[in-house]
Amino acid sequence: MKKIENNVSFKRQGVFKRKIILLTTALIFNLLFLSMSSNAQTYEGNIQLKSQNEIDKALSKGGVLYNITAINGYLYLGDRSNATDITTIASFSKIKTITEGLYIYSNLELKSLTGLESLVYLPTLDISSNISLENLEGLNNLKKVEGEFRIAHNTALLSLEGLTNLHTIGTLEVYFNTNLKSCKGLEKLKTLLSYLSFDSNPNLTSIAALQLTTIGSSLSIKQNEKLENLKGLEGITTIGKIVVSGNTCLTSLKGLDNLKLISSGIMIRSNEKLTSLSGLDNVKKIGGYLDVTEHDQLVSFEGLNKLNEINGELYIGRNEALKSLNGLENLKSVGELKILSNTGLEDFCALKNIFEGVVIEEESKNNFQIKSNGYNPSLPDLKTDNCKKI
């Protein structure tokens, strides 16, 4: 009986020891978890810091962002309405995740984005009105901006260096950066999910650093006074909409050479030195409109020789040097035709293929207007040798 009692006692002691070991192990794991949690904390909500003092306080020991590695919300550095005294954001180096977006604006003394090296992905990014910022170094590890990426009103910005690993952006808008000269820094960018815009950058001379293969929706190149061509867009074969307007030194559309389909439309307006549409040589179809307006030196439509279909409107207006529509000989169909106020235009014979064998119904005649040009043939004239002034 004693032996049995001893065995039972021994077993109970063994069970008790095992319980102690399990409890100790669990306690150690809990302590490790708490330790890890304290080193990988998340700030919940949006936060805006409007001064260097606020940044220093937030990131110092006891501050709301001390040891924080993730922000579940928006981070605003600066103030959209008022200039700030922020000079450095280097103390943000532990932040790896911002779930909603990062906005950096109106920091007049900020010269560097050093401190953002831990960011690999952002939903949105806005860098605006930081007039001392010369480049984007600090964003070197950023690979993707899912939504809108805006770079605007940074008057000292010379290039986009610092975006060396960025390969995908939802929408990229680059505008009113008065000293921006090139797109250097965007060499790895391949995909624009939606929209690309370079507007009102008066010293931008080249976008050749671009090596894009996809623009999901549209392209806008406007008011870049020193831009001479569109080299850098050779990888684009299809696109929705294009606007090329007010680029006073643009002499050609070279760079769009591999483009075959424009599904929505293309507007080419007020490019003073544009002499031809060379660069659109492989475009076969425009799903919407073609608008060519207000060019002082455009003499023909050479460059559109493969174009055979425009589903929407062909609008040609106020091109003073235009003499003929040569280059449109292979165009076989248009939805609407308006050729207005081209005072030197006297030869419309390139449009013959559109009207051969076509009967224009009375109710559709308003869709075909030829007025105030150097010569204004009737629709029947376009089928004969009367298509040009004799």
Q: Does residue 31 lie in a domain region?
A: yes
> pLDDT tens digits for 278-319?
999 999 999 999 999 999 999 999 999 999 999 999 999 999
Determine the pLDDT at residue 128.
Answer: 99
Question: Is a pLDDT exceeding 70 seen at residue 27?
Answer: no
CA distance 148 to 157: 19
CA-wise closest residue to 251 among 281, 267, 231, 265: 231
Q: Does residue 282 lie in a domain region?
A: yes
Q: Does residue 356 lie in a domain region?
A: yes
Contact 51, 78 (CB under 8 A): no
pTM of the model: 0.88
DSSP string, 56-94: HHHHSTTSTTTTEEEEESEEEEE-SSS-B-----GGGTT
Q: Does residue 20 lie in a domain region?
A: yes
CA-wise closest residue to 241 among 275, 260, 265: 265
Q: Does residue 242 lie in a domain region?
A: yes
Determine the pLDDT at residue 192.
Answer: 98
Q: Does residue 7 lie in a domain region?
A: yes
> pLDDT tens digits for 47-87?
999 999 999 999 999 999 999 999 999 999 999 999 999 99
Number of compact structural domains in the chain: 2
CA distance 248 to 9: 97
> pLDDT tens digits for 150-183?
999 999 999 999 999 999 999 999 999 999 999 9
Q: What is the pLDDT confidence band of residue 366, given thresholds at 50, 70 and 90?
A: confident
Q: Does residue 6 lie in a domain region?
A: yes
The CATH number covering residue 254 comes to: 3.80.20
Q: Does residue 193 lie in a domain region?
A: no
Determine the pLDDT at residue 28.
Answer: 43
Determine the pLDDT at residue 273.
Answer: 97
Give residue 350's domain range: 237-390
Distance of CA 385 to the CA centre of its chain: 47
Q: What are the tokens at 174?
A: 């680059």
